[in-house]
A and B are shown apart, each in its own frame.
Chain A
C-alpha cells in the first residue's frame, strides 16, 4: 500500500482482499480512503488533488510488494526474448541484438488477487559484462537461469553459472532452470530429460520454454512471483507453497491445451 501525504491524509488503496485491507483501516489518522477496482483512477485523482495536474500514460499499479528477478545464462539463449514475451506478449524476431550491460524493467503481476511488482534485470550473457552482473546478484530474490536446447555449450555452462550463483547471490534465492527455444524441435540437442536431471541434481525447478510460441513463459514468472509472495506474506496457518508441485500441475494444463490445438 502506498501512503501519500497530502492535506487530507488520503490513502490510495489497491484492490486487495477486504480481510487484509481492514487491517490498515484501524489507523486513526485516516481521513479519506480511495477504494475501487484497479485502473479506475484512484491515484490519478489523488495526484490531481495534490499537485493539480493529470499525468497521462503513466499508469503504474500501486503495489504492496515487489521482488527482483534476474535473467541469467549464456549469450543468445533468449533471455531478452523471454522477457519481452512475458512483458509485452510479443516475440522479437529478426536479427539478434545483444543486450548491453544489464537492462532493468518492471512488470506487475497478479497473484491471488494481489498485485506483485516484479523488477526484472535482463543481463548480457557476454563475459565482459560479468563484473557488472555480479554487482547486482545479491539484490535478486529470484534467478531465471536459461540455456538454449539447440546449443550444447549453453547447457554445459549451466554448472558454471550455478557455481557463480552460489558465490554471489543471496543464500535463499529462488532459482529456476529454463530450457529455452523449445519450439525448435528439429535443432534440439538437449533432451527434456537431460534438463530435468540437471535441475534435480541441484534441487531447482525446471521447465522448457519458448519465447517464440510463449509456452511456459508466463508460467515461469508467475511461479516465481507466487513463491516469493508466499514466502513474504505467509500466514502461520497457511500451508507452505510448493513451487515444484505448482509448476507440475500448471505445466500439465498447458501441455494438454497444446496437444488439443
Chain B
C-alpha cells in the first residue's frame, strides 16, 4: 500500500546473510553530522530504508503531519484561547469548521452541572471523578455510551447525551464542533463514523495533540473489531450496544491512555529499540528471518516496551501505530506469559477491513522478551508455534540468547554516557527509520508524576515545532526546574532536557556533541539493517 513511499527508486534488497553495510552508505555516514542533515543520512537511519510506514502518508494523522496546510491559528498562550478557536478553521477537510462562542460557554456550564450530578451515582466521589486530568468518552452516533475512562458507562449515559446534543447542534448548522476551551479545560470532539470520541482534558496541550490521542483510542477499538464489522453492526441496528462486542477490552483502552501519557513513542510516531550490539541483533534478526512460514507477514520481537527486531514480508510495511497497538495488547494482558496466545487482531493502519492473526508468546515465562508472529491465516497456530520453536533453537544454537538476556537485564543507558554534564534527558527520533532513542529517566523524573510532567513538556515542545501555521525549527524554553531545547530538521527530531543551570549556548553546542555520540552508537541504538523474508 505504502511501499512506493519508501522505495525512493533505490533498491536496498540485500542477499540473505549478507549483513555488512554497503560501501556507499558508509561513506555518507562517515561525515560528522550537522543539524542540516538530509533525511536518510541522519544518525539512526536504516540502511535498507524504513521498516515503518511514515505517519505523513496518512490522511487522518493530521496531528503528526508537518506538511499539513490547515490554517488553524497558532496558540500564543493559554491566556487567549478564544483567539485560537476563532481561527480554528480547518482547511484540510470537506467542511469549513468553526465554533460558536456563545454555545461554547453556555454548554460548558451545563456540562459541569451534569458531571457533578453523575459522579454521585458512582463509586468515586464527585470530586475525585471530576479531578481526573484526562477523561475520554466514546459513544455511538445514537448517543449510546461505549467507553469511559473513569466511572461506569451506565452512570454517564446522560452526560454522553449532552455531548451528542452539542455535536448535533453544531452539525445542524453545517458546522463541525472541534473543541471547547473554558476554565482550564479542553473538551475535544472527534467524529469517526460510526463512533464519536470526546476528550475532556485539564491540560495546556494543543487540540491537535489531544485529537491525536482520541485517534489512538479510535484505532484501538477498530483493532478489536475491524472497521467493517463496526460499520456493519451499526448499519443493522443504530442503537446497538457496542459494549457487548468490546467486553473485556476496557483495560486495553485504559492501558493505551496511560501509555499516551508516558511513552514518547506515541507522541513522536516512532518506536524505541532495545540497545543491543549489532552483531547480536543481526543474529536475532536472521534467526527470525529463517523461521518463516507461508502466511507470516510480520515477526516482531519485543523487550518490554522496546523493539528488539522486526522482520517483515517483502513490500509490506507496518505502521508505527499498529505496532503501538500490538505492544499495548502485549503489556496489558498477562496470559501470554505462560502459554502461547492466538488472537485475531486488526492492524487498522495496514488494513482496517480485515483481521490478522497473531501468535503471541514470551520466550520464557520470566523473561521480558515477547515474540509476536502475525499471520493472515486463522488456522495457522501450529505453523507459527513451530516457527517460534525453530527461532528459539536457532537462537540457542548460535548462543545469541545469552547476550540478548544480558542486554535485557541492563538498564537502557544513563544519559551520563553522552558526556554532557548539564544534560538530563533527551529523545532523538530518526525520521527515515521511524525509530527513536532515549536514555533512562534520571532521578528527578523517575516518579510517575514527574515522568508525566516531563512528557507533558515534550508534548508542548512537539506541538510548537509542528504548529500547522507557524512551524518552528527550534525552540528553547527556560522553566523553573529545567531548560528545554527542541529542534527539528528534515532528518531528525530532537528534544533535550537540561538542568536549570544550563544556558542556551550550551544547549546549542550540546546538540552537535549528542549527534556525534548517537552516530557513534547508532548500530547499538537503532536497527540499521531491517530484514525481510
Q: Which A residues contact B (CB, under 8 angstroms)?
A: 55, 57, 75-76, 80, 84, 87, 97-105, 122, 124-129, 131-132, 135-136
A140→B114 CA distance, assembly (Å): 52
Could you tell me if B247 and A132 are in contact, using CB atoms closer than 8 angstroms? Answer: no
Listed residue (B244, B335, B343) with the most chain A CB atoms within 10 angstroms of its CB:
B335
Among B197-205, B282-290, B378-386, B486-494, the one that faces the other chain is B378-386
**Contact A97 to B338, CB < 8 A, known contacts A104-B385, A131-B378, A132-B378:** no
- Specify which of A55, A76, A103 is in contact with B336 (CB 8 Å cutoff): A103
- Specify which of A87, A97, A127, A128 is in contact with B335 (CB 8 Å cutoff): A97
Instruction: Decide if B344 is an interface residue (CB 8 Å cutoff).
Output: yes
A228→B487 CA distance, assembly (Å): 67
Could you tell me if B343 and A135 are in contact, using CB atoms closer than 8 angstroms? Answer: no
Could you tell me if B247 and A75 are in contact, using CB atoms closer than 8 angstroms? Answer: yes
User: Which residues of chain A are within 8 angstroms of B336 by Cβ–Cβ distance?
Assistant: 100, 103
User: Which residues of chain A are within 8 angstroms of B73 by Cβ–Cβ distance?
Assistant: none
Name A120's closest neighbour in chain B (CB-CB).
B339
User: Which residues of chain B are within 8 angstroms of A129 by Cβ–Cβ distance?
Assistant: 343-344
Q: Which 3 A-B pairs have the closest CB atoms?
A: A101-B343, A98-B248, A105-B339
28 A–B contact pairs at CB < 8 A? A84-B338, A87-B338, A97-B251, A97-B334, A97-B335, A99-B333, A100-B333, A100-B335, A100-B336, A100-B343, A101-B342, A101-B344, A102-B341, A103-B336, A103-B338, A103-B340, A104-B339, A104-B385, A105-B340, A127-B244, A128-B246, A129-B343, A129-B344, A131-B378, A132-B342, A132-B343, A132-B357, A132-B378
Name B357's closest neighbour in chain A (CB-CB).
A132
Could you tell me if A101 and B339 are in contact, using CB atoms closer than 8 angstroms? Answer: no
User: Which residues of chain B are within 8 angstroms of A136 by Cβ–Cβ distance?
Assistant: 381
Could you tell me if A75 and B248 are in contact, using CB atoms closer than 8 angstroms? Answer: yes
Name B338's closest neighbour in chain A (CB-CB).
A105
- Specify which of B245, B357, B378, B385 is in contact with A127 (CB 8 Å cutoff): B245
Q: Which of B318-367 contact A (CB under 8 A)?
A: 329, 333-336, 338-344, 357-358, 360, 364
User: Which residues of chain A are within 8 angstroms of B335 by Cβ–Cβ distance?
Assistant: 80, 97, 99-100, 103, 122
Q: Which of B467-514 contact A (CB under 8 A)?
A: none
Chain A at the B interface: mostly helix, strand, loop or mixed?
mixed
- Specify which of A57, A80, A127, A131 is in contact with B247 (CB 8 Å cutoff): A127
User: Which residues of chain B are within 8 angstroms of A122 by Cβ–Cβ distance?
Assistant: 335, 339
User: Which residues of chain B are within 8 angstroms of A132 by Cβ–Cβ distance?
Assistant: 342-344, 357, 378
**Least distance between A205 CB and chain B CB atoms (Å):** 26
- Specify which of A57, A103, A104, A128 is in contact with B245 (CB 8 Å cutoff): A128
Instruction: Decide if B168 is an interface residue (CB 8 Å cutoff).
Output: no
User: Which residues of chain A are within 8 angstroms of B333 by Cβ–Cβ distance?
Assistant: 97, 99-100
8 further interface pairs, Cβ-Cβ under 8 Å (given A100-B336, A122-B335):
A57-B364, A84-B338, A98-B251, A100-B333, A105-B339, A127-B245, A127-B247, A132-B357
A100→B342 CA distance, assembly (Å): 8
Name B380's closest neighbour in chain A (CB-CB).
A135
Could you tell me if A128 and B340 are in contact, using CB atoms closer than 8 angstroms? Answer: no
Could you tell me if A128 and B225 are in contact, using CB atoms closer than 8 angstroms? Answer: yes
A136→B357 CA distance, assembly (Å): 13
Name A136's closest neighbour in chain B (CB-CB).
B381
B interface size (C-beta, 8 A): 30
Could you tell me if A55 and B248 are in contact, using CB atoms closer than 8 angstroms? Answer: no
Could you tell me if A103 and B341 are in contact, using CB atoms closer than 8 angstroms? Answer: yes
**Least distance between B267 CB and chain A CB atoms (Å):** 26
A115→B294 CA distance, assembly (Å): 34
Name B340's closest neighbour in chain A (CB-CB).
A104
A99→B336 CA distance, assembly (Å): 9
- Specify which of B224, B378, B396 is in contact with A128 (CB 8 Å cutoff): B224
A131→B357 CA distance, assembly (Å): 12
Instruction: Decide if B249 is an interface residue (CB 8 Å cutoff).
Output: yes
User: Which residues of chain A are within 8 angstroms of B334 by Cβ–Cβ distance?
Assistant: 97
Binary flags per residue of B236-262, CB closer than 8 Å to A gives 1, else 0: 000000001111110100000000000
Could you tell me if B251 and A102 are in contact, using CB atoms closer than 8 angstroms? Answer: no
**Least distance between B295 CB and chain A CB atoms (Å):** 14
A97→B344 CA distance, assembly (Å): 17
User: Which residues of chain B are within 8 angstroms of A124 by Cβ–Cβ distance?
Assistant: 248, 343
**Contact A100 to B339, CB < 8 A, known contacts A75-B248, A126-B248, A135-B378:** no
Name A95's closest neighbour in chain B (CB-CB).
B251
Name A123's closest neighbour in chain B (CB-CB).
B342
**Least distance between A59 CB and chain B CB atoms (Å):** 13
Could you tell me if A100 and B341 are in contact, using CB atoms closer than 8 angstroms? Answer: yes
A124→B344 CA distance, assembly (Å): 11
User: Which residues of chain A are within 8 angstroms of B247 by Cβ–Cβ distance?
Assistant: 75, 98, 126-127
Name A92's closest neighbour in chain B (CB-CB).
B334
Listed residue (B343, B358, B360) with the most chain A CB atoms within 10 angstroms of its CB:
B343
**Least distance between A207 CB and chain B CB atoms (Å):** 24
User: Which residues of chain B are within 8 angstroms of A76 by Cβ–Cβ distance?
Assistant: 248
**Least distance between A66 CB and chain B CB atoms (Å):** 13
A80→B225 CA distance, assembly (Å): 23
Name B248's closest neighbour in chain A (CB-CB).
A98
**Least distance between B195 CB and chain A CB atoms (Å):** 16
**Least distance between A114 CB and chain B CB atoms (Å):** 24
Binary flags per residue of B195-228, CB closer than 8 Å to A gives 1, else 0: 0000000000000000000000000000011000
Name A80's closest neighbour in chain B (CB-CB).
B335
User: Which residues of chain B are within 8 angstroms of A104 by Cβ–Cβ distance?
Assistant: 339-342, 381, 385
User: Which residues of chain A are within 8 angstroms of B385 by Cβ–Cβ distance?
Assistant: 104
Listed residue (A84, A100, A124) with the most chain B CB atoms within 10 angstroms of its CB:
A100
**Least distance between A79 CB and chain B CB atoms (Å):** 11
Listed residue (A55, A104, A105) with the most chain B CB atoms within 10 angstroms of its CB:
A104
Name A128's closest neighbour in chain B (CB-CB).
B245
**Least distance between A53 CB and chain B CB atoms (Å):** 8
User: Which residues of chain B are within 8 angstroms of A100 by Cβ–Cβ distance?
Assistant: 329, 333, 335-336, 341, 343, 360
**Least distance between A142 CB and chain B CB atoms (Å):** 17
User: Which residues of chain A are within 8 angstroms of B341 by Cβ–Cβ distance?
Assistant: 100-104
A232→B425 CA distance, assembly (Å): 64
User: Which residues of chain B are within 8 angstroms of A105 by Cβ–Cβ distance?
Assistant: 338-340
User: Which residues of chain A are within 8 angstroms of B224 by Cβ–Cβ distance?
Assistant: 128
User: Which residues of chain A are within 8 angstroms of B358 by Cβ–Cβ distance?
Assistant: 101
**Contact A131 to B339, CB < 8 A, known contacts A55-B396, A75-B248, A97-B334:** no
User: Which residues of chain A are within 8 angstroms of B245 by Cβ–Cβ distance?
Assistant: 126-128
**Contact A135 to B244, CB < 8 A, known contacts A100-B343, A103-B339, A103-B340:** no
A136→B358 CA distance, assembly (Å): 15
User: Which residues of chain A are within 8 angstroms of B340 by Cβ–Cβ distance?
Assistant: 103-105
**Least distance between A91 CB and chain B CB atoms (Å):** 14
Listed residue (A84, A99, A124, A136) with the most chain B CB atoms within 10 angstroms of its CB:
A99
